[in-house]
Amino acid sequence: METLFRTLTSGNALIFILVLGLGGSFQNGFHTTGTSSPSPYIQHFINSSWYERYGEHPPLQTVTIIWSAIVALYAVGGLVAALNVKNVTGMFGRKKALIGNNLINILAAVFMLMSKHANSFEMIMIARFLYGIGAGLGGSIHAIYLGESSPKKIRGMMTLTCTIFIAIGKLSGQVFGLREILGREETWNILLSVPTCFAVVQLLTLPFFPEAPRYSLIDKGDEEACKKALQFLWGRKDEYKIEIDEMKAEQKAIKGVQTKTLMELIRDRSIRWQLITMAVICCGVQFSGTSAINIFSYNIFLEAGIPKGDIRYVTLGLGVVEVLTSLSSSLLIEHTGRRPLLWGGFGAMSALMVLIIITLNLKDVGQWVPYTTAGLFMLFNMSFVGGPSGMTITLANEVFVQSCRPAAFSFIGIQRWLLQALLSLSFPFLIEYLPSFSFVMFAGVCLVASLYTFFFVPETKGKTLLEISEQFKCITVCGKSFSREQTLETMATKL
């Protein structure tokens, strides 16, 4: 722990982590929970706006569809961003791409602030779409930038700070959403514009930081810029020589290989297991139920039987638990490794979701049952944040080499935002027609993800990216390997 503290404080790394987080993952976290508290006011605004235009109140189902679209358009914007992560980072680099992304967030805030005065729910839709683009680009570039700037010995802990800022963003959305602050009918548009203030902070400060060292050396071939960046971030020590040697080894291994496009990545059989692994984990994360809990927490806790006046405090408790868990897991990751936190987290989530389904069906037994359900949700969130949530970002940085990483983040982002959009559109209707049993799917998905990570995902702690790639090539199913090289070798032997 003492060595870790010296590493972080010998340069400008701590300020760097803070600046990246505020304009990166923090935005995603805030917008995930920021719509929960003002959701009744926004739906009332949709109703009144419709009435002023057409002279009649819209059907309840129409309001639900428009509200679902507002929620889902955030995910659609994230999907558009995911499709362009590789192009944006390749064209502008990590630093400039993140600086430019803040301008999108500022434009979104303008639409959100003006929507109420213009009496236009369409402007809310545009703002949510732009916020989605900003969060999609910001979250992916934040993770790539941080991973490419981190020493191997603390790479896991550094990339896990992305999760910490997501958790802080979620908690901030819940705090600012309190009635005593901005969670009122007259200020909901200001509430949903708050994260842009933090984007402005990044816009003004990030130009003073260097480009990602790994990107500077491997992609641009600028060893001097790489050295200066490492010195600026981690202090003027000779320890960075080890990192540069590792980068040179990776640069040599992929010499002559251009940065892959998304389609080239999908067609490349040598990284097939990495893609399958990330696909399973991403599906596990999105259909674990956490997205639904965060976005529709008001509806879920109302269905659970918790009084309306207590719901905001329960969701605030969820946010506090998530921040504390993410901070704790960042200290554990380099000790326990990635794999145990993954399969253990998914397994615990599956078991807890079964218990949640039971308590949701027993909510009328006594007044204590709804609060038991809330406690189970907190344990569920702890298992998620301490396991799959943080490990997904860490693994994405570790299982792909430099030429594959931007396209890999596009691949992961497309899955994430596509599944989130699907869930955002369908969950309001699921919880209406299948109140508690809509969670059965979540329990099953968590169980499958736990079994997959237990049997197939190798440990990546303390290994170079090239060593990790070799580990994935050795994965077998029923005693057979599906790597391209071994398949060709087997065919040649038979011939």
Position 220 in a domain? no
The dihedral sign for the CA sequence 70, 424, 407, 268: negative
Residue 167 CA to its chain's centroid (Å): 10
- Smallest CA-to-CA distance from 306 within 295, 321, 317 is with 317
pLDDT value at residue 94? 92
Looking at residue 294, its pLDDT comes to: 66
Q: Is residue 242 part of a domain?
A: no
Domain annotation covers residue 240: no
Instruction: Identify the pLDDT of residue 130.
Output: 96
Residue 196 confidence (pLDDT): 94
The verdict on residue 237 lying in a domain is: no
pLDDT tens series, the chain, 495 aa:
555 556 566 678 889 999 999 999 999 989 988 887 788 899 999 999 999 988 888 888 888 889 888 988 998 898 899 889 888 988 899 999 999 999 999 999 999 999 999 999 999 999 999 999 999 999 989 988 998 888 877 777 888 888 889 889 988 988 898 888 898 888 999 999 999 999 999 999 999 999 999 999 988 888 899 989 988 888 766 567 777 888 888 788 777 667 788 888 888 888 888 899 988 998 888 888 777 676 666 667 776 677 777 777 777 887 888 888 888 777 777 677 788 888 999 999 999 989 988 887 887 777 778 888 888 888 888 888 888 887 887 887 788 877 888 888 888 888 888 887 777 677 667 766 766 666 788 899 999 999 999 988 888 877 777 788 888 877 766 555 544 444 434 433 433
Q: Is 100 inside a domain boundary?
A: yes
Q: How many residues does the chain have?
A: 495
In a domain, 219, yes or no: no
Return the number of other C-beta atoms located less than 10 Å from residue 178's C-beta: 16
Q: What is the pLDDT of residue 484?
A: 43
Write down the pLDDT at residue 99.
95
Domain count, the chain: 1
What's the confidence (pLDDT) of residue 90?
85
Residue 481 lies in a domain: yes
Residue-number span of the structural domain to which 420 is assigned: 14-209+254-494
Phi-psi region of 256 (alpha: psi -120 to 50; beta: other; left: phi over 0): left
Answer whether residue 489 is part of any domain: yes
CATH of the domain at 137: 1.20.1250.20
Can you give the pLDDT at residue 495? 33
What is the predicted pLDDT for the residue at 485?
44
pLDDT value at position 361? 80
Distance between CA 89 and CA 99 in Å, rounded? 11
